Structure 1
């Protein structure tokens, strides 16, 4: 069911969307946001040095270790470290941000692999960022659906923006809804915050006006009766839409919608130029 707004509320609807959009752009272009990435370094048991991070890095069964040269220092959880520092075993999709001067060295695990991803505020992608194109907000794309929880969360393996990498999520349920009388459904993953959901999807605009690989939509916790609102005006690009240094998940096969969702963020200018 599409939400119909009185004409008098359209201005407030648009203003709310603009505030959301500006917040998205500010987080993306923050000094250590995803536009500040300068490298995606995969670790193994051989010490490796990188041009955009200090020290020699390796990983093994005991986790990630860095050995800093004389005069080099990282700030890890507020504490200066020198020489050898052990980050230990990192959880999947977890990580630690170590401060190095005005940069942040992200140490993380993605798809079962330990990585180092430096973030420098003067990264060219960040300093040249001119904003993300988007469709004009339209209440037509605010849809009321129904969340149906699975009996048990279903482990769901999806691909990634990096070839050969896979992510596994425990999908708690699916969201059913209609667009123009056509029944559709999206498998949902856990979102950021208690009860929240995240859906990854493509649609008929993908690769045309929107990023080909994926878009994401964050959903508030469903109501007690399962009612949930999908505001496709707030469909966002994941970091991989801007940079090849991201490991973003791809949507599950069933989340490839056969309709054109002409709402939300479009293909970034950076990707068009690439």
Structure 2
């Protein structure tokens, strides 16, 4: 890779700064993950929680809430009263009914129905002052190649929550060269059609960057399969900030030994708590 002209480097830095500012704005959203006040694992028994109205349960027909006469939720502009069935939520899907100034996330993670209330006055959000990052460097924006698999591969990965697993569809891998060595990373489907993302750890993990994982978004490959893997835009997942997250861990082949000194570093107050899926007798969501 040839060194960019100074004007190109300046533009590169400015684009990164604008990107990171937008990313920080999203992270500090009043109803973002820093606003989460609880991670509640729903069971067949209707249960009340201190940070959400109603009694919540997980049934064969999906999540159900039972609201008392003085309680209500609003979902897509419609007021909910009494008993409401949200239906079966797809894996990694979620609904976000509103309760006053709070949002009550109803979601499914690793086959479990969960409730994660989000309150804008949460102390974690109020105390957030930003995430440190390496200075952007064009060296870490690596031209790469997309190598599609013959068939998409369902790939099971672990989670920061002990006992929880996630399954992602991997359509292929991305390869990039660094200092004469070719590295290959399993890629998962991204948010937009054709785009990808990779989960990884590297030689900085647990030293200057978050130990469990980081994520890099990759735009859709071009007609020749070329991609850009920009490690300057490696970001922390929610689990770097809060124990109320269920983030996936990278597959084994994405655990690099080379130090990728780029992207976001560990938060100034990293999470240091244990997380596990509660064991419940007769839990119909439990996996063998």
3-state SS of paired residue (1:271): coil
Quote the offset at 1:15 in angstroms.
Answer: 0.7
**Separation in 1, partners of 2:147, 2:207:** 31
Deviation by residue 1:78-115 (Cα, 9 ceiling, x = unmatched): 10011111001000010100000000000000000000
> How much does 1:4 deviate?
3.4
SS where residue 243 of structure 1 aligns? coil
- Write out aligned runs for 1:60-209 (5 A): 60-209=59-208
1:269 counterpart SS class: coil
SS at match of 2:253: helix
Give 1:16's aligned residue. 15
Cα offset, 1:273, TM superposition: 8.3
- Separation of aligned partners in 1, 2:61 and 2:178: 50
1-structure distance, mates of 2:219, 2:107: 27
> 1:160 is paired with a residue of what secondary structure?
coil
> CA contact under 8 A between 1:3 and 1:140: conserved in structure 2?
no
1:235 maps to which residue? 234
Call closer, same or farther: CA 1:69–1:272 in 2, change over 3 Å: closer
Distance (whole Å) between structure 2 residues aligned to residue 270 and residue 28 of structure 1: 15
Cα deviation, 1:3-34, whole Å, max 9, x if unaligned, reads 63211221111110001001111101100001
| Partner Cα separation in structure 2 for residue 179 and residue 7 of structure 1 | 22
What are the equivalent positions in structure 2 for 1:16-35 lying under 5 Å apart? 16-35=15-34
Q: TM-score, normalised by structure 1?
A: 0.98
Q: Could you say which residue in structure 2 is the equivalent of 1:224?
A: 223
Contact 2:243 / 2:271 at 8 angstroms: preserved in 1?
A: no
Contact 2:104 2:115 in 1 (8 A): yes
- Structure 1 distance, partners of 2:126, 2:21, is 17
Q: How many residues align?
A: 273
The aligned counterpart of 1:39 is 38
Q: Which runs of 5+ in 2 are unaligned?
A: 274-288
Alpha-carbon separation, structure 1, partners of 2:272 and 2:58:
36
The ranges of structure 1 where at least 4 consecutive aligned residues each deviate by more than 4 angstroms after the TM superposition are none
Q: Is the CA contact (8 Å cut-off) linking 1:3 and 1:139 kept in structure 2?
A: no
Instruction: Give the deviation of 1:203 after TM superposition.
Output: 0.0
Output the TM-score relative to the length of structure 2. 0.93
Partners of 1:237 and 1:127 in 2: CA distance: 19
CA contact (8 A) 1:3 1:144 kept: no
Q: Distance in 2 between matches of 1:128 and 1:119?
A: 15
Distance change (3 Å), C-alpha of 1:182 and 1:228: same
Which position in structure 2 is the counterpart of 1:268? Answer: 267
Q: Helix, strand or coil for the counterpart of 2:53?
A: coil
Change (3 A) 1:38 1:272: closer
| CA distance in structure 2 between the partners assigned to 1:4 and 1:244 by the alignment | 41
Unaligned runs of 5+ in 1: none
Q: How far off is 1:272 after superposition?
A: 6.7
Contact kept in structure 2, 1:3 and 1:143, CA below 8 Å: no
